[in-house]
Structures are given as structure tokens and as C-alpha cells.
Chain A
Amino acid sequence: MALILEARQVTKRFGGLVAVNAVDFTIEEHSIVSLIGPNGAGKTTFFNVIAGLYKPTSGTIRFKNTIIAGQPPHEITRLGIARTFQNIRLFNNMSALDNVLVGMHTRLKSTPLGAVLRLPSVVAEERAARVQARELLRFVGLQGRDLVWAKNLPYGDQRRLELARALASKPSLLLLDEPTAGMNPQETAALTRLIGRLRSELGLTILLIEHDMKVVMGISDRVTVLDHGTKIAEGSPHEVQTNPAVIEAYLGRAAVARAEA
């Protein structure tokens, strides 16, 4: 299988704090990969480095043969990486539809002058974008909510809208930062199914940060574990689950001793 993302020796330092420490990390095309680890392990920092919000202190990241480390986030989005946020960051005072349309920004071509003159090409592009945006809203289960403001949607729907907005940029790699955080079991199950469909129906590759182990173990092809910024384990969900270093990171040394006894 071809690698879609390849990170080599990625380090991110904030002053004296090493948030991500020489991490090697790869993602195969069409796989679902989870990044797990205790709070403060550097998962979100690593995400932000991939998405371009942070420049890595050292190391390289290659996405489909382009080096993306250090590129601005909008450029990385254009190349085909989209993301959601751990703390939902929607455009609150804009409609659901407009949120998705903003997500399409890099795929639209209209210029300010074209918009002012309302050229036929601009009108056609806008119309097509609206049709597509409605389709995306339907795909994530938000049909009929086009005109509702993002901030007025219930929490679970806001997460779905973030997903639709990310999909609008037509990514090939989707980064989901704790997509099920704060959801009840039914919502979590529905979202897990949706993530499965993203791969099977849209052919996406997915990198997931997740705390819900049922979700992680249920849908991941591979799991990577970070602790204190360092990669401590990597493998299939089962391999990781039984890895003593992982148990120690999560539950402490005593738990490992008890498991061995």
C-alpha cells in the first residue's frame, strides 16, 4: 500500500517544553489510523504540526510526495488535508450552509472582480457549490438545517457540521480531533458508522485522535500511542491493547505489575 503521509523525526518545542519528540509516523492510503495517549501527550500538537498551524522545530512531513512541514495551513488544505477541532470551531454566526461553503473556499475560483460583475462562470460556480454543500449536509445527516446558524445547532449536530465543512475542501486525508468527545453512546455509535462510510464511500484516509477506546478499537487499522511527546507503541489495535508500555502510560506501573501477576 502507498503511503499518503510520512512524518520523519518530527519535533515540536515550545521554549523548554518538548511537546512532540522525534516522532516517526506514517499513514497508508485508505486506512483509518488512531492516535491515542494520555492527556498532554502531544496528540493535538502533532495534529497542528501536520495541519500547518505549528511549524515543526525539526523533522519533515511528506504528504503525497510534497513536503508540507512549515507550509501555511491554507496551502496544506489546498493540497488535500482537512481537519476538525477538538473544541468545535465553527463559524458561529453563519448558517450551516455558509459554513460548508467556506470549507469549499480552495475549490472555488471566483475572483472579487468576477463576483462584482457577476460573470456567468461565477454564478454557475456558486450555484453548483450550493448544490454540493447541501449534499454534504445531507451526507452527515443535517438535511433541512441549511439556514440554521452554527451556534444554534445542538452539540452533536455541530460536530457533524464541522465534519461536513472539512469534507467540503475535498480532502484525501481527514484529521479528526476527538470527534466523539462529549457525545452520548448513541451519537458516538452513529458517528463511528459515519467515519466508516467516509472511507468506504468517499475513499478517504483518516487520522483520528480519540479517547473512546471502543471507537478506537472498533474502526482503526492501526493505532499509534504517544506519551510525553514520544511514540511509545504502534501496531494493530490488539497489539497496542496488550502492550505493557501502553498500559503503564495510561494506568501506571502498578497496573502493569497486576496484569503480569
Chain B
Amino acid sequence: MAVRQTAAQQGIVARAPQQRRRGAIAFGILVAVVLIYPAIDRLVLGPYLGQNFLGSLNPILIFVMLALGLNIVVGFAGLLDLGYAAFFAIGGYTAALLTSPQSPLPFRTDFWIAVIISFFVAAIFGVILGAPTLRLRGDYLAIVTLAFGEIVPTAFLNLEKLTGGSKGINPIGRPHGPIPTITADGTLGIKPELLATDQVHWYYLIVIVTAISVFLVIRLHDSRLGRAWMAMREDEIAAASMGIDLVRTKLLAFGMGASFSGFAGSLFASMLQFIDPAQFRFDISIMVLSMIILGGMGNIFGVLAGGLMFGIFNFVVVDRITSWLKALSVTVGMPFLAIDLSDKKLFIFGLLLVVMMLWKPEGLFPSAEHAAELHASEEEGMETEMPGEALSEEQIAKTGERV
């Protein structure tokens, strides 16, 4: 803490460029790894670990996209939304209805147009949910959003003529277009007009859309609107008195937060080629919320990291451990070791969350704001002596950058 304090006092100017360079290098490495990951997956992880993760990574990234959107509502604007899966469903069904040959709609659109339309339809429903909850905060808001999250999948279930009810919709339109691909010998090329049937295509497609989402969220965070969201989260009355239109600002948070699940939902539906109401149950909302809490609410990179870790746990680690345990039980001849963890996922995850909340309630990579809030009582005694205390280096670098 003392180190951070001196950092805050001394070198805002001196540190910022150095940090920026380090950040740029880290970013470059990240981009490179993300770009060549399918080759690593095929040429290294496959042969040596005996397992490919690419197929699991795609749904994980879709959930990361959802987490980014929900983070606008919960992390930035401080509005607890427990029904976020509803927008995911709306995005998915919009794309399905617009592109599936099974759809009762009198027209079909291209997949790309469907993605854009899903983005806006989800945003509109975000505003529709937001409107009646404008006066609610905290627990009350959570209950209303929870209800919305239950109503939407139930509505899709019962609108049988439109959605096929529990039979769902299948197939769903796929994207056409120039998609980068890795040929059998591991080189990267671009084949035009390719159907997205390969997991590698999906990987790049989802990575691009995720990158766009991250970009949008960062820009929004650093804007006048981002400041208004945070001010509203800190103190609604003060925010209104400083000229912030609470109605507009809240609806923008709900609408923009929901719009990302339009992206996510349409990609998800097209990737699975199938959509039914059971895919959007309450546990999806909770899972996405948990990603944010685990990673660090409000901090975009924390949310990315939390989403990835949660996803890897959920889609990869549990299955791996289960199969290892099975193999182990056979080898050592102790059949009771063959525990199937896949049906205990939620239990394990719940346990991890409890531990997490006790040990690091602000998440693994917290935004400086939330960390400060949750540790307020510990810091109280030093507040006046250590004014620079709660500023993280990251934040200083960021502010230095803006100057």
C-alpha cells in the first residue's frame, strides 16, 4: 500500500509512458496469441494434451460477450439485473426467426443483417424492461428483472406458432463471407464466400465480435455517458442535481447493456443451429452475473478474465477432471474415485463463489472503485493521511493518458 502511495505521489508523468509501452507489448502478445490460437490448438494442444479446446472456447467467448453487456448495467450503472438471459434469448430468437427456413415469418434475411437487427431488438427490449423499473433500486429492481428473465423464455415456450415451443427452431441461418481459415498444413489464409461450418471459422468470427464489443464498452466507459452512469451508481440524488437525466441515463444503460446480448444470442443460435427456451433459464443469468463478480465488477478486463475463467471451468475443467478421475479409479482399482463432477458443477461453483466472496469480495481483477467501496471500513482510519491511497497505478496511467 505504501508503495502504491509513493507511485501516486511521484511519477504520474514519468510512469505513464513506460506503462503504456508495457501495456502495448502485452496487448500485442495477447492479439498474437488470440490470432494463432487455432493453430496452437491443432498442432500443440491436440497432439500433446490429447484434447482440443477450440470447440469449448466458442461458447465461452459468447458468454464473455454477455458478461461485457451485463457489466454495463450492473458494473457501470449499478443496476442489479437478474434476468439478463432474457435478452440473450431475445437476440437468439430474433436471429433464428429472421434466418431459419422453419420460421413462420414471411421473409428471411441474411445472417449478418439478422445479427444487426438482433442487436437493436435486444436494445429495444432492454429499454422496455428498463421503463417500468426506473423508480426501483437494489432488491426491488433485482426482483423485477428476475421476473422478466422468467417471463421471456416462458413466452417463447408458449408462442408455439412462432417459435415451435419446446421443439425449438432448427436449422438457423449461417454466416457467409470471407472467413480466415487454417488449412491442413497450418497456414493462415482467407477463403471467400465460405459457409461457417468449421469451429475455426466460428472462433474467428466470435473473436472479432468480442473485440468489437470490448472496444465499444471501453469507449462508452470513458465518455460523458460513462461518467453519468458511474455518478448515478454512486449517488442518484446528487447525480440528478448535477444535471443528469436519470430516466434517460438508466434507459441507455439497460438498452446498451441488452444490445450486446443481441450479438451474443444471434451468434449462439447460429453456431448451435438450434434454439429452444430451455437454453435461457435463470442459471444463465446467474452464471453471467457470477462471471462479472468473479472477475471484478466494473473493470472491463476483470470481466473478460472472469468470463474466460468461469467458462473454462464450466466447459473444460470439470469434464477433464471427471475423465481423469475415471482413469485414475481404473488404474488404482478404486472405483469410488470415479466421481462424475458434471452434475455437481453448480455445487462446486457455488462453493467457489462463497470462498471468493469471503476472501476477495471485489473479484480477482477489481475496478479500483469497487475495491475501495468494499474495503472502505479497513481504510477508514487512514483516509485523511493517505489521500492517494485508493488510486491504482492503472488508474493513474489511464488518467495521465487522457491529459
Interface centre among B240, B384, B396 (most CB of A within 10 A): B240
CA of A84 to CA of B376, assembled, Å: 24
Q: How far is the CA of A148 from the CA of B199 in the complex (A)?
A: 48
Question: A103-119 interface mask toward B, CB cutoff 8 Å, 1 = contact, 0 = none?
Answer: 10110101010011010
Interface size class of A (residues with CB under 8 A): 35 or more
Bound Cα distance from A83 to B245, whole angstroms: 16
Expressed in whole angstroms, the minimum distance between the Cβ of A251 and any Cβ of chain B is: 34
Contact of A91 among B224, B225, B226, B231 (CB under 8 A): B231
Q: Is B264 an interface residue (CB 8 A)?
A: no
Q: Please report the number of residue pairs spanning A and B whose Cβ atoms sit closer than 8 angstroms.
A: 138
Per-residue CB contact flags for chain A residues 189-219 toward chain B (1 = under 8 Å, else 0) read 0000000000000000000000000000000
Q: Identify the closest chain A residue to B389 (Cβ).
A: A152
Interface residues of A in 81-116 (CB under 8 A from B): 82-83, 85, 89-95, 97-98, 101-103, 105-106, 108, 110, 112, 115-116
- Give CA–CA (A103, B246) in the complex, Å: 14
**CA gap between A52 and B386 in the complex, in Å:** 37
CA distance in complex: A219, B238 (Å): 27
* Inter-chain contacts of A92 with B (CB < 8 A): 234-235, 373
* Inter-subunit contact A151/B372 (CB<8 Å): yes
Tell whether, in the assembled complex, residue B8 and residue A147 are in contact, meaning their CB atoms are under 8 Å apart: yes
Which of B231, B376, B403 gathers the greatest number of chain A CB atoms within 10 Å? B231
CB distance from B369 to the nearest CB of A (A): 4
Contact A51 B242 (CB under 8 A): no
B226-254 contact mask (Cβ, 8 Å, vs A): 1 or 0: 11101100110111111111100000100
Residues in A whose Cβ lies below 8 Å from that of B244: 74, 102, 105
Of the stretches B182-190, B215-223, B300-308, B337-345, the one at the interface is: B215-223
Measured CB to CB, the closest approach of chain B to A233, in angstroms, equals: 29
User: How distant is A5 from chain B, measured CB to nearest CB, in Å?
Assistant: 17
One of B220, B234, B245, B383 near A112 (C-beta < 8 A): B220
The residue that B372 contacts in the complex, of A93, A102, A145, A153, with Cβ under 8 A, is: A93
Given contacts A72-B245, A116-B220, whether A152 and B383 have CB atoms under 8 Å apart is yes
A91-B235, A112-B225 given as contacts; is B219 within 8 A of A118 (CB)? Answer: yes
How far, in Å, is A141 (CB) from chain B's closest CB?
14
Scan B388-399; emit 1 where CB is below 8 A from any A CB, else 0. Answer: 111100011001
User: Cβ of A153 and Cβ of B387 under 8 Å apart?
Assistant: yes
* Distance between Cα atoms of A147 and B222 in the complex (Å): 15
Nearest CB of chain A from residue B380's CB, rounded to whole Å = 10
Chain B residues, Cβ within 8 Å of A12? none
| A64 contacts chain B at the CB level, 8 A cutoff | no
CB-contacts of A48-74 with B (<8 A): 51-53, 72-74
Contact A112 B242 (CB under 8 A): no
Find out whether the CB atom of B241 lies under 8 angstroms from the CB atom of A105: no
Flag if B384 contacts A154 (CB, 8 Å). Answer: yes
- A13 in the interface (beta carbon within 8 A): no
In the A-B complex, list the 9 residue pairs whose CB atoms are closest, starting with the nearest.
A115-B223, A106-B243, A77-B243, A93-B369, A91-B234, A89-B238, A73-B240, A102-B231, A116-B219
Not counting A116-B219, A151-B372, a sample of 17 additional A-B residue pairs whose C-beta atoms are within 8 angstroms of each other reads A53-B237, A72-B240, A82-B241, A90-B234, A91-B230, A91-B235, A93-B234, A93-B390, A94-B227, A103-B243, A105-B228, A106-B243, A115-B222, A147-B388, A148-B387, A152-B389, A152-B390
